[in-house]
Amino acid sequence: MGYLDGRVAIVTGAGRGLGRAHALALAAEGAAVIVNDPGVGGDGSGNDASPAEQVVKEIQDAGGQAAANLDSCADWKAAANLVDQAVDTFGSLDILVNNAGILRDKMSFNMEESDWDAVIQVHLKGHFAPSRFAAAYWRGRSKAGEEVYGRIINTSSESGYIGLVGQVNYATAKAGIVGMTLTMARELERLGVTVNAIAPRARTRMTTGSFAGYRQPEEGGFDDRAPENISAVVTWLATPQAGHISGKVLACYGGELELQSPIEHEAGISNGAARWTVPALIERSPELFAHGRPSGVLPLREGIGS
């Protein structure tokens, strides 16, 4: 018996890296999985059916159920078809893991319009489009008087609320995913749907540069950058036991799990009933930083990757 027996999941970007690990982990707990991946390169170019088909084979060889979907999750009609495929193939949809992403890192002053558009399209629209059609499916079931089991697990990044140099397109998309997560968690709560986001650190094609100096563990040792470390968190959020958790952002790496508050009230100053003036702000602004973060740019945490 698995925690997800009888459930149906979609995992986007599931042909490699984190998505592959998520698909295998969900299937190991009994979920039938739609493995979505058009097989593009790390920058979004090209296409290759073999990664998705290989993951499907791995799941089926282990006794699970899976089917491949080779469309782009950032395509509106394809996202609708992705949800339809899950329902038509396995009878329902219970879990959506939005994982697909690409990188086109450049400094802001060197970034081309195409670099910006491609990353925003795949990450931000590629998260929203499947979520929109999954939400519509669950709302339809609720209106029909049926019990709804719904889980959306999004993939953000610490880059989105810390700001990693050379990733203005990626960080913007990942910050947008946090906003999407919080909003949809509120909108779908009454339907019985939870919406959460993870901010993972793991070794994948997208993070090769971030972990360039990383040493592989000795044989049999704990690999704290393995994608499988993250998949346990994703699978847990998909279970009935996590049904009370929604609208949260969880940073996860190795054996660590951190509840994040990316945007929070930290300090404030008041000028009473009077409008602020520039001289008053110059005089009193140090109060904002007296007991909290320094007024300059924050140093990066050691080990943070994409």
C-alpha dihedral over 182, 186, 192, 195, to 10 degrees?
-10
The catalytically annotated residue of 137, 149, 174, 248 is 174
User: How many whole angstroms separate alpha carbon 111 and alpha carbon 94?
Assistant: 39
**What phi-psi label fits residue 41: left (phi over 0), alpha (psi between -120 and 50 degrees) or beta?**
beta
In which residue are the tokens 């080779």 written? 70
The catalytically annotated residue of 137, 149, 161, 170 is 170
Q: Is 57 a catalytic residue?
A: no
Q: Please say whether the beta carbons of 92 and 150 come within 8 A.
A: no
Q: Is 174 a catalytic residue?
A: yes
Tokens of 119: 């990353």
Phi, psi of 109 (to 5 degrees): -80, -5
Burial status of residue 198 (CB atoms within 10 A of its CB: 0-12, 13-18, 19 or more): buried
Burial status of residue 96 (CB atoms within 10 A of its CB: 0-12, 13-18, 19 or more): buried
The catalytically annotated residue of 157, 159, 210, 246 is 157
Buried b (16+ CB within 10 A) or exposed e, 148-163: bbbbbbbbbbbbbbee
Q: Is 77 a catalytic residue?
A: no
C-alpha distance across the termini of the chain, in Å: 35
| Residues taking part in catalysis | 157, 170, 174
